[in-house]
Amino acid sequence: MGPGRDTAELLRELPAVHELAASLDAQHHFLAVAAARKAIDEHRAALLAGADPQPDQLTERARELLVELQRPSLRRVLNASGVIVHTNLGRAPLPATARKAVERVAEGYSNLELDLDTGERGSRHAHVEALLRELTGAEAAIVVNNGAAAVLLAAAALAGPGRDVIVSRGQLVEIGGGFRIPDVIAQSGARLIEVGTTNRTRLHDYKRAISGSDVDVGAILRVHQSNFRAVGFVEEVGIEDLCELGLSVIDDVGSGVLGGAAGIPALADEPSLTRSVAAGSALVCCSGDKLLGGPQAGLVVGRKDAVAAAREHPLARAMRIDKLSLSALEATLALYRDPALARAEIPVLAMLDATEEELTRRAQRLRELIGADAEIVRAVAKVGGGALPLLELEGPAVALVSDRDPVAIARALRSADPPVVARIHDGQVLLDPRTLADDEVPPVVGAAGLALG
């Protein structure tokens, strides 16, 4: 049955799209038209469904839609979750110098692949290679667009079609996004040789695989168990012993710990690029946007011949890092020349190195500004991003006190401008000061006030 007379009349009374669009204060007319059309469509659907929306709701809805259309999809978010390297929030926040570097390069053209001395074509890798050699002791270096690409390129360059890559069974891991080591090796064209067992792999397991009559080993791949830990009856072979086997070793160290992180207790057991290079690895791979604290990137450092093979491989072009990420990476790496400066200026390192006094001061400020609807509690922050899964960073946090549903409060915080991402623990919404900067406290307080009001 069609709509009744009353509904039909209401449908006829709907304004034309151009009329409703003209009543909106839009920066661009096409956005006003899009908002008006969608609002009218929603209003019409509600009428046909038997609802009774008020006429003034149509204009209000059009204004809401206009705000949504004018707002960019990718936005800055305030991280009050206590997860430092938060994958959903873009992983590592950039140091101030890196943000400024991106702004400079984004302003116009750049010498991305131009040698300013000779006027000839240059290499984009030149902007960071000297820094990486200085910081790691490697003979050469290149950078690609992410850590997974770095491992794939390394395997393809040193092994590739028809050759073998040896991996311990305990290191055939899957990390975020379904990225599996066996699949990476398959995509490189190499054949996978598994050695050892899930929990124990010894040096003689590698030697036995190498001595096989039907093998042609291109590389041994060691993979850091970034996002989990095997404990108990376990054994693995150190990087130094692997390198003494006389074959090319690819060491995927995961999150990228450099010398500037020295002195931070939380990172004491994380594998560093420097150690792996010194041990004699052909190629060492890591991500740029985890513990390194920079932009999304995949770092590949090591022997000159091995890096050259990776640089010349056809996949290298498909994995190129862009100019904005490259500028941010250069600025981040430059901070590592002074370890104390790196720990102070690189947000990830500063969060890991934060003192109890610093966190307490920030938590007290949050509580005082929010008022009676907040209290300080003890909580545990995490590193996140697949790094240091067992590490618990205990410290103060601010719990929002309310009779409202905590899920609704967390949703309201995310609706703020800028959005605030908190976490819910034991039925309370927590704001963790470890992942907030001092200048982010006021907007978090404002968002909390709206969410609780």
Q: Band of the pLDDT at 67, cuts 50, 70, 90?
A: very high
11-15, 220-224, 226-230: segment of lowest average pLDDT = 226-230
Q: What percentage of residues in the chain have a pLDDT greater than 90? A: 82
Residue 4: pLDDT band (50, 70, 90) is low
- The answer to whether residues 179 and 212 belong to one domain is yes
Domain shared by 307 and 362, yes or no:
no
Average pLDDT, stretch 168-194? 88
Does residue 82 carry a pLDDT above 60?
A: yes
Per-chain mean pLDDT for the chain: 93
Give the pLDDT mean for 359-378.
97
Give the phi and the psi of residue 318 in degrees, each rounded to 5.
-70, -20
Q: Where residue 429 sits, what CATH number does that domain have?
A: 3.90.1150.180
**How crowded is the C-beta side of 72, counted as CA atoms within 13 Å?**
5
Over the stretch 6-49, which tens digit does the pLDDT of each residue have? 888 888 889 999 999 999 988 899 999 999 999 999 999 999 98
Amino acid of residue 227: N
Question: Among 345, 368, 403, where does a domain finish?
Answer: 345
Mean pLDDT calculated for residue range 313-336: 97
User: 333 and 95 in contact (C-beta within 8 Å)?
Assistant: no
Count of domains forming the chain: 3
Alpha carbon distance, N-terminus to C-terminus of the chain: 45
Residues near 280 by Cβ (< 8 Å), separated by ≥ 6?
A: 240, 243, 244, 249
| Residue 357 pLDDT exceeds 90 | yes
Q: How many CB atoms are located within 10 Å of the residue 397 CB?
A: 26
Read off the pLDDT of each residue in 93-119 and give the average, rounded to a whole number.
97
pLDDT confidence of 177, banded at 50, 70, 90? low
Confidence label for 212 from pLDDT (cuts 50, 70 and 90):
confident
Q: Give the integer Cα–Cα distance in Å for 205 and 222.
A: 14
Please state the pTM of the whole predicted model: 0.91
- Do 208 and 329 reside in the same domain of the chain? yes
Give 125-152 pLDDT, tens digit per residue: 999 999 999 999 999 999 999 999 999 9
Shared-domain flag, residues 257 and 155: yes
Contact 218/164 with Cβ under 8 angstroms?
Answer: yes
Question: Which residues, listed in sequence order, are joined to residue 425 by a DSSP beta bridge?
Answer: 428
Question: Which of 319, 345, 371 is where one domain is finished?
Answer: 345
Pairing mode of beta strands 283-287, 78-79: unpaired
265 pLDDT higher than 90: no
If pLDDT is split at 50, 70 and 90, which confidence band does 174 have? confident
Indicate whether 199 and 287 sit together in one domain: yes
Same domain, 154 and 180: yes
* pLDDT, position 84: 96
Confidence of residue 1 (pLDDT cuts 50, 70, 90): very low
| Same-domain pairing of 62 and 128 | no
Q: Are residues 158 and 277 in the same domain?
A: yes
Map residue 269 onto helix, strand or coil.
coil
Same domain, 338 and 363: no
Structure tokens at 287: 């991500």
Could you tell me the residue range of the domain that residue 405 belongs to? Answer: 78-87+350-452
Q: Quick check: 176 pLDDT over 70?
A: no
Helix axes 29-48, 5-12, angle to 10 degrees: 180
Are residue 307 and residue 390 in the same domain, yes or no? no
Say whether both 356 and 331 belong to one domain: no
- In this prediction, residues 40-59 reach a mean pLDDT of 89
Residue 342, both tokens: 């790196």
- pLDDT attached to residue 401: 94
Q: Among 114-128, 354-368, 381-395, which stretch is predicted with the lowest mean pLDDT?
A: 381-395
Grade residue 262 by pLDDT with cuts at 50, 70 and 90.
low
Residues 189 and 238 in one domain: yes
Q: What is the DSSP letter of 56?
A: H
| Length of the chain, in residues | 453
